[in-house]
Amino acid sequence: MNMAPLTDAQPSSTSPNIGARERAARFCRRFGLRVPILQAPMAGACPTSLASAVANAGGMGGLGALMTPPDGIARWVREFRDQSNGGFQINLWIPDPPPVRDPEHERKVRDFLEQWGAAVPAEAGDAAPLDFSAQCEALLAAGPRVVSSIMGLSPEKFVASVRRAESPGSPARRLSVKPAPPKQRAPTPSLRKVRRRAGTAARSMPPLQSVNPFGDLAKEAMEELGPELAKEAVTEVGTDMAKEAL
């Protein structure tokens, strides 16, 4: 698990665009992503089929676990890992303190709501959220790449447990966190440059071009990236001429 420190978000250039690209590339390298895309961890809208599709495409899947009990978190993680070896995050909603109950005020609210719909039973106010501590334990056991929260800060004890789990030598990291596969490679500056040049060449090539314009590009890619990455970069253009150049 990783909880990125604030220093990772600082741009290294005065240009906002360059800074954003550098932060995105740094994020991809850290978490083993091919594209800087995170699935929004929205409660009730994070099926494993969607999360695994995002991860398999090179991004990071996500689970919004507000309404997911501990055993549901474990089941979601098992299903996700059956479909992908990519990364995912789990988001927890930080609960509010127990409310101060006022029966008379609650009665007035129920009476008001009944003007607009069905009667509201008095026990509706007794609804309790899921066991947050048990959710935290399930999250630690799941070992996601990223832990996030909304509507507040995670308890200090839980944060300390996350920090221990992200330690390179901790048993939790070795057992729970699957390393990103080789194909989950972040695009390097050279790889991005080759892809851009290949795309430009493909778009500007006139019809019935008799000379392959990708020869110099392929040579440059080989020199900068090596055979494997060069082939991946140029063939992404999707043209037979680019493939033949390598």
Domain that holds residue 140: 38-95+107-176
Pair 194, 217 in one domain: yes
Residue 45 lies in a domain: yes
Q: Are residues 132 and 229 in the same domain?
A: no
pLDDT, position 42: 93
Residues 239 and 119 in one domain: no
- The pLDDT value recorded for residue 172 is 40
Residue ranges in the chain whose pLDDT is less than 50: 1-13, 169-187, 201-214, 234, 236-243, 245-246
**Count of domains for the chain:** 2
pLDDT at 105: 94
One domain for residues 228 and 134: no
Same-domain check for residues 143 and 198? no
Same domain for 128 and 219: no
- pLDDT for the residue numbered 214: 45
Q: Does 3 map to a domain?
A: no
Q: State whether 240 and 147 are in the same domain.
A: no
Q: Do 168 and 237 sit in the same domain of this protein?
A: no
Question: Does 182 reside within a domain?
Answer: no
Retrieve residue 225's tokens.
Answer: 């990236």
**Element (DSSP H or E) covering residue 172:** helix 171-176
In sequence order, which residues have a C-beta less than 8 Å from that of residue 186 and are 6 or more positions away? 25, 28, 29, 32, 33, 34
Does residue 138 form part of some domain?
A: yes
Say yes or no: 158 and 45 in one domain. yes
Establish if 229 belongs to a structural domain.
Answer: yes
Q: Which of 221, 223, 212 is nearest to 194 (CA)?
A: 221
Q: What is the pLDDT of residue 180?
A: 34
Distances (CA, A) of 53 to 1, 111, 192: 21, 46, 23
Main-chain phi, psi angles of 149, to 5 degrees: -140, 165
Contact criterion met (CB below 8 Å) for 192 and 99: no
- Indicate if 195 and 130 belong to the same structural domain: no
Residue 29 lies in a domain: no
Q: Are residues 133 and 239 in the same domain?
A: no
Are both 42 and 160 inside the same structural domain?
yes
31 within a domain of the structure (yes/no): no
* Coil/strand/helix, residue 93: strand
DSSP assignment, residue 96?
Answer: P
Q: What is the pLDDT of residue 231?
A: 59
User: What pLDDT score does 141 carry?
Assistant: 93
CATH number, position 60: 3.20.20.70
